[in-house]
Structure 1
């Protein structure tokens, strides 16, 4: 049984590394495309850029995790006595783990902020430009990057101080209930509140678009406005399905499994089961960052065409891109 688990852990780590490479490349392409294409320099695409930056950082840390974090983790002692090497590796492991958790949380916050921008643009279009002023936009972005940093900072501080105080014994959740409480707080703040906000905003967007299209039809307006609303309704519906699928299928299980790992204290018992569960958690989070460029970037025709033009600037590619544009 343990041998099968070991092989499963090794396979998941390879998947984890591959997701990190794919996510880094994909999100980097989205960033470069938006930065290099002046036609994409607007608030909506800046939100996509912000999301891509958060996902690129998360994916890059995933690649580093396979070497740096793994080496420090293996150097942690759990024998009840201290050596300078044990203390150094424990501190390095949890500091690196802190940045990893913050990067994944930043991705979720960036996704919520991008959805909020769409929500204001569709629900309150007349207030859009007065709402998204430069000062407010900077404040939102700062909050998005600072909030996860504050919610995640307790864990490394607590574990580092407690580990050394307990003569280099890894703190258990049974001995320190506050470790469990901090996990619940992070789950509520980083997932439950944001998931409720996402569901609410997308529901309002869909209702608003459908109601507007129906109002135009009842007035006998079958022209361009009605068609545009219908097209917007279809695009947002498709986006909604992708968003909710990725968010609830990937992020929800990873958050739940993370708290199961903390509550059950598996590392104090079945080490291999805990290792398998921990690797699965990181794989799910990394997969979300890897597929976001497809859902929020390359799935949009304008951004996709700009990316193709950036990667292949030759006339032949431009003609092919123009043909593709005529069919989208």
Structure 2
């Protein structure tokens, strides 16, 4: 997860041609991610058909992913030796502090990663209450409470990322902006890796997995009951539509697990690619290649969500047509709303 700063360490010294290829690939990935998530925001906010709580929360998730992709582009073009377009070194000490602590460190990368993971948790929470405790939905998930929850998520994301401000410090060299802070032992790095593993990865994924299990059990029970009662087709279709939305969100969760696991695990074992750490293989060439691939997969998670919406979210496909094709603006009024009211 250590962004392009770690990727630069992977390839710069020994194989600059591979380093340049990887850097350009990550920057291109960031551009695609920004455009894709921006499209999600525009479609949902523009099309009235998609104006509901679930989709507003998906917009918030798309914003977090878009910021993470922007950070990927920024790091590549400013800090990566093979891709950077300017060689900027702040002249003042205060400028160097801000540059090193907030920009060159992994602070923003982790902050936006926290925000992405926990905003997906909020989407899961909304669907859990709507489907497992529908009678309590209107009372518990008011618009005001959801706004407060989203604000707290963003505040916590930046708060939890504060330790990463202490990885770099301003350099005394006038031609160099930052230098890595050297600690007497690796305790700080180990604790930081363990903290990130549990807070940004294990905890939210455990909560979401449990919630989706409960949702699936509830939906299967509802579908079975309606089928036995020979309920009206509209009622049964409503349950099926809910199942499709939940399946789409589970695919989003599954993609996050698959694409984040290599990077989070490598950060847990080796925060920095050096043989001076607690594990000697952190400085090996094989691990450096693995870290580069893991970083690519990590950022790809922020790129793939809009693709999942397009492939698996029927309502989003309809909204996409409405947003960019006038001939479809009158369609969709008679279809079952996938996002649905909880009742």
Partner of 2:188: 178
Aligned length: 311
Shift of residue 280 of structure 1? 3.2
Matched ranges for 1:83-232 at <5 A: 92-96=99-103, 97-156=106-165, 158-160=166-168, 170-171=180-181, 175-221=185-231, 223-232=233-242
SS of match in other structure, 1:70: coil
Partner of 2:299: 286
Partner of 1:70: 80
In 2, Cα distance between the equivalents of 1:233 and 1:219? 19
Partner of 2:325: 312
TM-score by length of 1: 0.80
Aligned counterpart for 1:262 among listed residues 258, 265, 271: 271
Closer, same or farther: CA 181–287 of 1 in aligned 2, 3 Å: same
Give yes or no for contact 1:9–1:275 (8 Å, CA) kept in 2. Answer: no
Give yes or no for contact 1:217–1:226 (8 Å, CA) kept in 2. Answer: yes
TM-score by length of 2: 0.77
In 2, Cα distance between the equivalents of 1:75 and 1:173? 28
In 2, Cα distance between the equivalents of 1:89 and 1:282? 26
Partner of 1:295: 308
Shift of residue 16 of structure 1? 1.1
Give yes or no for contact 1:261–1:277 (8 Å, CA) kept in 2. Answer: no
**Cα deviation digits, residues 232-257 of structure 1 (max 9, x gap):** 335433542x1243021111221111
Give yes or no for contact 1:173–1:262 (8 Å, CA) kept in 2. Answer: no
Aligned counterpart for 2:32 among listed residues 9, 22, 27: 22
Give yes or no for contact 2:27–2:73 (8 Å, CA) kept in 1. Answer: yes
Closer, same or farther: CA 247–225 of 1 in aligned 2, 3 Å: same
**Cα deviation digits, residues 86-145 of structure 1 (max 9, x gap):** 997686244223112211221111111111111111111111121111321122101211
Shift of residue 24 of structure 1? 0.5
Q: Does 1:43 align with 2:53?
A: yes
In 1, Cα distance between the equivalents of 2:303 and 2:121? 17
Give yes or no for contact 2:36–2:306 (8 Å, CA) kept in 1. Answer: yes
Larger deviation, residues 171-180 vs 113-122: 171-180
Closer, same or farther: CA 216–306 of 1 in aligned 2, 3 Å: closer
Give yes or no for contact 2:47–2:322 (8 Å, CA) kept in 1. Answer: no
Higher helix share: 1
Closer, same or farther: CA 148–94 of 1 in aligned 2, 3 Å: same
Partner of 1:81: none
In 2, Cα distance between the equivalents of 1:224 and 1:93? 58
In 1, Cα distance between the equivalents of 2:139 and 2:311? 29
- Supply the RMSD in Å over aligned alpha carbons: 3.7
For structure 2, the 5+ residue unaligned runs are: 1-10, 173-177, 339-343
Give yes or no for contact 1:75–1:89 (8 Å, CA) kept in 2. Answer: no
**Cα deviation digits, residues 52-87 of structure 1 (max 9, x gap):** 111111111211111123269x989xxxxxxx8999
